[in-house]
Structure 1
Amino acid sequence: MTLNRRNFLAGTAAMTGAAMLPKAVLAADAIKLGSILDTSGIFDAYGKPMDMALRLAVNELNGAGGLLGRQIEVVSYDTQSDMALYSQYAQQLTRQDKVDVVHGGILSASREAIRQTMRKNKTLYFYNVQYEGGVCDRNIFCNGLTPAQQAAALVPWALKEAGGKKVYTLAADYNYGQITARWIQKFVEEAGGEVVGTDFFPLDVADFGATIAKVQTAAPDLVIAPLVGGAHLSFFRQWAASGMKDKIPLASTTMGVGNEHKVLTPEEGNGIMVAYSYSQDLETAENASFKDRWTAAYGDPTALHELAVSTYYGVHTWAKAVAQAGSIERDAVTAALETGISVDGPAGKYTVDPKTHHATVDVHLMKVQDHKMKVIETLSQRPPIDTQAVCDLNANPDDNTQYEIQI
Structure 2
Amino acid sequence: MSMNRRELLGGAAALSTAAMLPQAAMAADTIQLGSILDTSGIFDAYGKPMDQAMRLAVKEINDAGGLLGKQVEVAAYDTQSDMALYSQYAQQLTRQDKVDVVHGGILSASREAIRQTMRKTKTLYFYNVQYEGGVCDRNIFVTGVTPAQQVEVLVPYAMKKSGPKVHILAADYNYGQITARWIQKFVEENGGEVVATDFFPLDVADFGSTITKIQQTAPDLVFAPLVGGAHLSFFRQWSAAGMKDKIPLASTTMGVGNEHKVLTPEEGNGIMVAYNYSQELDTPANIAFKAKWQAEYGDTTAIHELAVSTYQGIMLWAAGVRKAGSIERDAVVDALETGISIEGPAGKVTIDPQTHHATVDVHIMEFEGQGMTVIETLPQRAPIDTQAVCDLQANPGDNTQYEIEI
Shared topology, TM-score over 0.5? yes
Q: Kindly indicate whether the alpha-carbon contact (under 8 Å) linking 1:13 and 1:48 is maintained by their aligned counterparts in 2.
A: no
> What do residues 306-355 of structure 1 show as CA deviations (whole Å, max 9, x unaligned)?
00000000000000000110100000000000000001021000000000
CA–CA distance in 2 between the matches of 1:205 and 1:328?
45
Change (3 A) 1:4 1:305: closer
CA distance in structure 1 between the partners assigned to 2:9 and 2:346 by the alignment: 26
Query: Does the C-alpha gap of structure 1 residues 4 and 388 become closer, same or farther in structure 2, counting only changes over 3 Å?
Result: closer
Counterpart in 2 of 1:134?
Answer: 134
1:107, distance to aligned residue in structure 2 (A): 1.0
Amino acid at match of 1:145: V
Specify the SS of the correspondent of 1:237. helix
Corresponding residue for residue 196 of structure 2? 197
Contact 1:390 1:405 in 2 (8 A): no
The residue aligned with 1:169 is 168
Q: For residues 172-183 of structure 1, what are the structure 2 equivalents within 5 Å? A: 172-183=171-182
Distance 1:315 1:140 in 2: 13
Aligned equivalent of 2:97: 97
Q: Deviations over 1:335-381 (max 9, x none)?
A: 00000000102100000000000000000000000011000000010
Q: 1:359/1:4 Cα in 2 relative to 1: closer, same or farther (>3 Å)?
A: closer
The runs of at least 4 aligned residues of structure 1 exceeding 6 Å deviation read none
Amino acid of the residue matched to residue 345 of structure 2?
P
Residue 30 of structure 1 aligns with which residue?
30
Match of 2:106 in 1: 106
User: Counterpart of 1:60 in structure 2: which amino acid?
Assistant: E
Q: Tell me the SS of whatever aligns to 1:149.
A: helix
Take 2:214 and 2:352, find their aligned partners in 1: how far apart are those partners?
40
CA shift, 1:29, in A, is: 2.1
Q: Which residue of 2 aligns with 1:386?
A: 385
Q: Alignment partner of 1:150: what SS?
A: helix
CA drift at 1:12: 10
Answer yes or no: is the 8 Å Cα contact 2:13–2:40 preserved in 1.
Answer: no
Matched, 1:232 2:231: yes
Counterpart in the other structure of 1:43: 43
Look up the match of 1:253: 252
| 1:406 CA displacement | 2.7
Q: Is 208-217 or 181-190 further displaced after alignment? A: 208-217
Task: Name the residue aligned to 2:4.
Answer: none
Residue in structure 2 matched with residue 145 of structure 1 by the alignment: 145
Query: Given residue 123 of structure 1, which amino acid in structure 2 is its aligned partner?
Result: T
Q: How far did 1:161 drift?
A: 1.0
Q: 1:336 to 1:138 in 2, by over 3 A?
A: same
Deviations 1:202-248 (A, max 9, x none): 11111111111111111100000001111111111111111111110
Deviation at 1:28, TM superposition (A): 4.8
The change in CA–CA distance for 1:176 and 1:3 in structure 2 (over 3 A counts) is closer
Shift of 1:405: 2.8
Aligned partners of 1:39 and 1:47 also within 8 Å: yes
1:4 shift after superposition: 4.6
2:265 corresponds in structure 1 to 266
Identity of aligned residues (%): 78
Matches within 5 A, 1:324-403: 324-403=323-402
- Note if 1:76 corresponds to 2:87: no
Aligned CA distance change for structure 1 residues 253 and 330 (closer, same or farther; 3 Å): same
> Deviations 1:278-322 (Å, cap 9, x if unpaired)?
000001111000000000000110000000000000000000000
| Equivalence for 2:124 | 124
1:302 aligns to what SS in structure 2?
coil
Q: Which residue of 2 aligns with 1:321?
A: 320
Task: Output the TM-score relative to the length of structure 2.
Answer: 0.95
Q: Is the 8 A contact 2:13 2:44 kept in 1?
A: no
Give the letter aligned to residue 68 of structure 1: L
Counterpart Cα distance in 2 of 1:223 and 1:249:
6
- TM-score normalised to the size of structure 1? 0.94
1:38–1:46: 8 Å Cα contact kept in structure 2?
yes
1:27 is displaced (CA, Å) by: 5.7
Secondary structure at the counterpart of residue 179 of structure 2 = helix
- Verify the 8 A CA contact 1:26 1:72 in the aligned structure 2: no
The structure-2 alpha-carbon separation of the partners of 1:369 and 1:12, relative to structure 1 and needing over 3 Å to count, comes to farther
Distance in structure 2 (CA, Å) of the matches to 1:310 and 1:55: 13
How many residue pairs get aligned? The number is 397
Where 2:148 maps in the other structure, the secondary structure is coil
Deviation per residue, 1:6-51 (Å, 9 max, x gap): xxx7x8959x979x9xxxx996521110001111111111111001
Task: Answer yes or no: is 1:160 the counterpart of 2:131.
Answer: no
Q: Report SS of the residue matched to 2:219.
A: coil
